[in-house]
């Protein structure tokens, strides 16, 4: 087959037994098209019998031209953070209802992906956030986030108190249950449920959304995409920072969380005709009759 993508990695939802059958069917289909197929090693450990080479996500750089993720938006979020530094484009296949990121159904995936591999697709770049935690002047932790970086109080603690600076300039003090720092992609996730605005994914912007702020004048704010954010913890009893709701780190008083746009975007491939607004209508039920 004449395709830009010669070696394709298949990655399934971790420990999801029901994903094994469609994943292997897709693998056989792609191999039958003359393409080289590899499987993520964690995915492979949950497949009973297969003959495909297994590669760890962190070792796919330079070895894989395209990654196809079968699962849901959460699975794709986790994969995207790992593969973004390698500039590997992603296709998302949803095992259930179509998601914001995984917009191809299992029922139609072979026909749709076949067309895409022949060049019938559109490319979309989405920004990632890079976050680092410093304590006593030394960086002690860092991570990437596709959706959001969330600082929140512990289950049994009082509100967090923090100071927010943008590009070195003081913005505000926050006394709240938490603070969400979101990408446009994450603006339809936790940020939205906390009252934040929906940002089109093509925007280069970052949104800050307080969670249950003590001062009701603390409202969400959208800042430029290349802004350098610093969050200084003044009260952090049992406080924790989470990255896409997956990775987390416990914070102490006087810790500093630095957040900025990551240098490499996530590259998503969609079938031609893909519409973000159509996805919004479907997911947020905007298409319901009045």
Whether residues 136 and 256 share a domain: the answer is yes
* pLDDT at res. 2: 56
Is 2 a domain residue?
no
Whether residues 145 and 215 share a domain: the answer is yes
Q: How far is C-alpha 194 from the geometric centre of its chain's CA atoms?
A: 18
Give dist(CA 220, CA 179) in Å, integer: 10
Whether residues 170 and 194 share a domain: the answer is yes
Whether residues 90 and 148 share a domain: the answer is no
* pLDDT at res. 133: 98
Is 1 a domain residue?
no
Q: For the domain that residue 87 is a member of, what is the CATH number?
A: 3.40.50.10330
pTM here is: 0.93
Domain that holds residue 123: 7-127+265-283
Whether residues 78 and 150 share a domain: the answer is no
Question: What residues contact residue 169 under an 8 Å CB cut-off, 6+ apart?
Answer: none
Q: For the domain that residue 176 is a member of, what is the CATH number?
A: 2.60.200.30
Whether residues 152 and 90 share a domain: the answer is no
* pLDDT at res. 202: 94
Looking at residue 15, what DSSP letter applies?
Answer: T
Give dist(CA 86, CA 5) in Å, integer: 15
Is 44 a domain residue?
yes
Is 46 a domain residue?
yes
Is 29 a domain residue?
yes
Give dist(CA 273, CA 280) in Å, integer: 15
Catalytic residue among 40, 73, 103, 255: 73
Whether residues 79 and 150 share a domain: the answer is no
What angle, 0 to 180 degrees and rounded to 10, lies between the N-to-C axes of helices 20-32 and 109-117?
40
237 is catalytic: no
Is 111 a domain residue?
yes
Whether residues 181 and 104 share a domain: the answer is no
Mean pLDDT of each 10-residue bin along the chain, 290 residues long: 85 83 94 95 85 94 96 92 95 83 92 95 97 97 97 84 97 95 97 96 97 91 98 92 94 97 96 92 82
Q: How many domains does the chain have?
A: 2
Q: Which H or E run includes 117?
A: helix 109-117
Whether residues 25 and 137 share a domain: the answer is no
**In 10 A of CB 220, how many CB atoms?**
16
What angle is formed at CA 202 by the lines to CA 199 and CA 206, rounded to 5 degrees? 50
């Amino acid at each position: 087959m004449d395709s830009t993508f010669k070696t394709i990695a298949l990655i399934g939802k971790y420990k999801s037994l029901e994903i094994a059958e469609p994943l292997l069917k897709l693998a056989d289909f792609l191999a039958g098209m003359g393409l080289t197929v590899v499987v993520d090693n964690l995915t492979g450990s949950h497949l009973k019998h297969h003959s495909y080479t297994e590669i760890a996500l962190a070792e796919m750089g330079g070895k894989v031209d395209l990654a196809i993720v079968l699962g849901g938006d959460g699975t794709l979020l986790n994969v995207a953070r790992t593969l973004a530094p390698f500039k590997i484009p992603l296709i998302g296949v949803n095992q259930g209802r179509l998601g914001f990121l995984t917009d191809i159904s299992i029922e139609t995936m072979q026909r749709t992906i076949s067309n895409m591999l022949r060049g019938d697709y559109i490319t979309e770049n989405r920004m990632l956030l890079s976050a680092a935690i410093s304590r006593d002047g030394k960086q002690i932790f860092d991570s990437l986030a596709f959706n959001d970086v969330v600082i929140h109080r512990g289950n049994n603690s009082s509100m967090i108190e923090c100071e927010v600076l943008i590009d070195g300039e003081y913005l505000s003090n926050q006394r709240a249950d938490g603070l969400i720092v979101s990408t446009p992609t994450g603006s339809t996730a936790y940020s939205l449920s906390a009252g934040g605005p929906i940002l089109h994914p093509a925007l280069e912007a970052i949104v800050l959304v307080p969670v249950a702020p003590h001062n009701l004048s603390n409202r969400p704010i959208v800042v430029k995409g290349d802004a350098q954010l610093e969050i200084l913890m003044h009260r952090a009893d049992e406080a924790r920072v989470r990255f896409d709701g997956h990775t987390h780190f416990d914070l102490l008083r006087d810790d500093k969380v630095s957040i900025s746009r990551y240098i490499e975007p996530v590259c998503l491939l969609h079938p031609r005709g893909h519409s973000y607004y159509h996805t919004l209508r479907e997911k947020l039920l905007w298409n319901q009759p009045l």
